[in-house]
Amino acid sequence: MAEDITAEDIVDVPDTPRTDYRALTKDGLWDNNVVFSQLLALCPLLAVTGTATNGLGMGLASTAVLIASGLSISLLRNWIPPDVRIPAFVLVIALIVTLVDMAMNAWVHELHKVLGLFIPLIVTNCAILGRAEIFASKKPVAPSTYDGFIMGVGFTLALVALGAVREVLGAGTLFAGAAILLGDAFKAIEMNIPAYDGMLLFALPPGGFMVLGFMLAGKRVVDKKMESWRQRRVLQSDAPACHTV
């Protein structure tokens, strides 16, 4: 949990009804993205992103758990003594995941057959405990729920991005099996690259590490570029002021 400090610095929103949802959104999707900035939840990330569809399914299930845990931890935050908060959070999260697992097995059985193996693993997704600790245990219900939602969306985007790159390079398909996950209406988004059988490396775990590494490096490059562009703008707007003095 070395991320505690940095993440807290970034998301230190005061406990007031007026919470900056724009900042939360930016945090969840880019600045403080679960995968690309916090480097959390890499185990489920690398395990399921052989295809974009599996990534999407895992992302949706994790988002559901993040929303539910943000909501319930925030509701319970005034009843959880700080000294025992970690076991209490783990208990609440494990409860939610188990209920989601049972409900999916019963009512969306086909999807559960695809994702079944990974759902119990959501308990060990440190991003969920991380959000409970950093955000939901200190903030009111509405922003906590929204934080869970937007962090989940950011995680889902990372899963789909990594899954899509690995699937295209590794198998020459994109969103294969989406109809099983989302219903027959989504048969159209299943794509196949003709005359390319894929490069096995990217379907295997080493390829996952490689693609993730390139993506992390890519995000840093973009962040650096944006930072220097922002600084140049500040300098330019400052420059005339300096001259006049």
Residues that bind other proteins (CB under 8 A): 1, 4-5, 8, 15, 50-51, 78-88, 91-92, 94-95, 98-99, 102-103, 105-107, 109, 113, 170-171, 177, 197-198, 200, 203-204
**Beta carbon nearer to other proteins, 153 or 165:** 165
> In whole angstroms, how close is the CB of 206 to other proteins at the nearest point?
12
**166 touches 203 (CB < 8 A):** yes
> In whole angstroms, how close is the CB of 186 to other proteins at the nearest point?
15
> In whole angstroms, how close is the CB of 99 to other proteins at the nearest point?
5
**Beta carbon nearer to other proteins, 43 or 200:** 200
**Beta carbon nearer to other proteins, 78 or 236:** 78
**Beta carbon nearer to other proteins, 90 or 216:** 90
Residue corresponding to tokens 């600084």:
231
> In whole angstroms, how close is the CB of 80 to other proteins at the nearest point?
7
CA distance 119 to 9: 31
Phi and psi of 191, rounded to 5°? -120, 155
DSSP collapsed to 3 states, 22-82 = HHHHHHHHHHCCCCCCCCCCHHHHHHHCCCHHHHHHHHHHHHHHHHHHHHHHHHHCCCCCH
Specify the amino acid at residue 98: T
